Each structure stands twice: as C-alpha cells, then as structure tokens.
C-alpha cells in the first residue's frame, strides 16, 4: 500500500505513524516507512500536490518514488535513535 499525505511537521507525523498512535489508513495497513517526500513552505501548493499524486495510478507513484529512492529505503533511519 502507498499512503500520500500532507503535514506541517514531517518528523512528528512519521513518528505518529510508526508508533500507530492514531487509528486510520496507516495503522490499518501497517504502513511505517517513509520512502519519498517533497518539501515546501506553501501549504496551498502542498495540498494541491497531495491531491495530484493521490489521483495517479500506482505505477506512476512507484516511478516517482524510484526517481529519489530506487531501493525503497526508509528515509527516516536514524531519526528516532
């Protein structure tokens, strides 16, 4: 499963997902790795981009991920040591 979301605090939000602190999609499907992200200071643009990516087919999302992270490594390694 792939999850697409928007947040104003990526490190906090990923921690919440990893610890399964709230019910929802990521807890239901045991999603815990960050494999791709984009950074912006414009919340309006972030929401537009989220909706855009959510509308894509899985293959296009996979191709996007693999441009930045071809091995699908968890990009949060070492964040919570």
- What does the block give as tokens for 38? 């984009």
- pLDDT of residue 46 exceeding 90, the answer is yes
Answer yes or no: is 74 within a domain.
no
- What does pLDDT average to over the chain? 94
How many domains does the chain contain in total? 1
Answer yes or no: is 2 within a domain.
no
Residues contacting residue 38 through CB under 8 Å, at least 6 positions apart: 46, 49
Answer yes or no: is 49 within a domain.
yes
- pLDDT of residue 55 exceeding 80, the answer is yes
Answer yes or no: is 78 within a domain.
no
Q: Determine the structural domain holding residue 33 and report its residue range.
A: 10-68
- What does the block give as tokens for 50? 């989220």
Question: Which range among 26-30, 60-64, 67-71 shows the weakest confidence by mean pLDDT?
Answer: 26-30
Answer yes or no: is 79 within a domain.
no
> How confident is residue 56, by pLDDT bands cut at 50, 70 and 90?
very high
pLDDT at position 81 is: 72
Answer yes or no: is 63 within a domain.
yes
Answer yes or no: is 80 within a domain.
no
pLDDT at position 31 is: 87
Answer yes or no: is 61 within a domain.
yes
């Amino acid at each position: 499963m792939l999850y697409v979301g928007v947040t104003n605090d990526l490190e906090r939000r990923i921690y919440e997902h990893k610890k399964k602190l709230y019910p929802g999609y990521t807890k239901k499907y045991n999603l815990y790795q960050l494999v791709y992200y984009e950074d912006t200071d414009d919340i309006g643009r972030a929401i537009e981009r989220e909706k855009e990516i959510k509308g894509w087919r899985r293959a296009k999302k996979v191709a996007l991920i693999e441009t930045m992270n071809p091995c699908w490594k968890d990009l949060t390694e070492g964040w919570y040591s």
